[in-house]
Structure 1
């Protein structure tokens, strides 16, 4: 069964799964009050991992959420929002496990909520994000993006003084002159380039392993529209001019703090001029050629979590799982 051509179906992380309830962030003593309520659900973030459970009766993995503990207030606490039943969700950010060590599932207050027989395992968003419910995917992606921002914005960019988290973790305030600093999101465009023969252009980035091909992508520059960024990146990386730039969808990508905005565009020619500092190899593929090399393992598919995979599937007309394992 073919996929709809007007959207990117099953795009992970893109569907809203929780009411962020942003107006609550400015409430006085919001975090202490929520930490005092046993109905509050807490997600522990350790480095880039969270505890996940896949117990009996579940369709897939789920975040191992727990009530607040007395020690949570000593860590960085982030307000993530609330669900339709009024349950509030927090993230508690803990230091990453030392290099070479695996965090134990039950340590440091990370006990699971209805953990099931298999217990908990610590997983990254790349590992399990595509299998989580909309609520859990939103919780994980939001908590990870905020934690990454806090880790790199401990000091004021204006005067260099230390900053303190405020408004439920959605703001950092300069301790010296009181200026407010908000989480940043870096915008990146990602695009399929199709020629007049309906071939797709896929490229292998400099430093990527052999056989790892994907669509082109790059960051939006100041003063630039999204469509202009698509045209510029394609021209810089492979020397092509494009037309008919069409928006497909977008996906938060907290690695560390981006959003991927997907497009497709038509190439006006097929001759490539590769930017060797960015691109190791670029090739045009027909649908039959791509299916064949994917099935034989000559090329690896993008992960199910990524918008890149959905963009390729839109061009191909079916799920890549029909050709090769995920």
Structure 2
């Protein structure tokens, strides 16, 4: 039935484009057919004919259209024009909005011309766009949908092993629970050059897997590569706090503040970890004052939870901090 539906959509699109005078409507119909079956070749063939026969009409209508349908069509048209980098970034944007559709099973996405030309930097950016909307990708169904992406990562990272790009690529398989592929991309990057971003990618993957010792060791390697990076001190401090070593967390935050003394996240973390370690009311008050400036509410709430567990803190002050957490 699905094949019949796709054939009917393709036939109707042909009528709309050539007899009904509506190439834009034809594109929308064909994109709808792709959404129902991204691997079916017929809608792409029809789109290619439209791009050849009615390019100016289609191009003009899509120029200002940022809808999902328009961006998906543009991704394929960019591929037809040989612009593989913009094509994959457009597909990444579509996939980020609707990861429940296996857009990567499109025939062009696995085409040798695409895999042999698209740059590592563009594929890495596409992976980041996939992750932009924060969807849960760590399920069996999602891993199956993203298999074409995993194959593209493997092929492109081998052909164009730019360490920073591979480190960014590693975020997608990690989000999908494909930790071995995330580490493999880091290994490939390290075989070219050891950079801070690869060490961070390893650290975050270990942390997601729950191995805090390995995560801490990887963040320490990242700091050796970029010792002036304040955010790495905070990352490592957070891991130490998660391990229950608040004394080490305080020291690391203080080291970060030497490089960026006005950074609000560092200041808030320092106040939280000192309050947890010493039971200082002044530090908890400092955290309460800084809390509204923290954009990441989940992290803010975690810091408040740590601080409120400090020894012998006044109940009223703890209650005030928890009200900030609720709000």
Q: Could you say which structure has the higher helix fraction?
A: 2
TM-score where L is the length of structure 2: 0.28
TM-score where L is the length of structure 1: 0.28
Q: Higher relative contact order at CA 8 Å, sep ≥6: structure 1 or structure 2?
A: 1
Q: Could you say which structure has the higher strand fraction?
A: 1
Q: In terms of Rg, which structure is larger?
A: 2
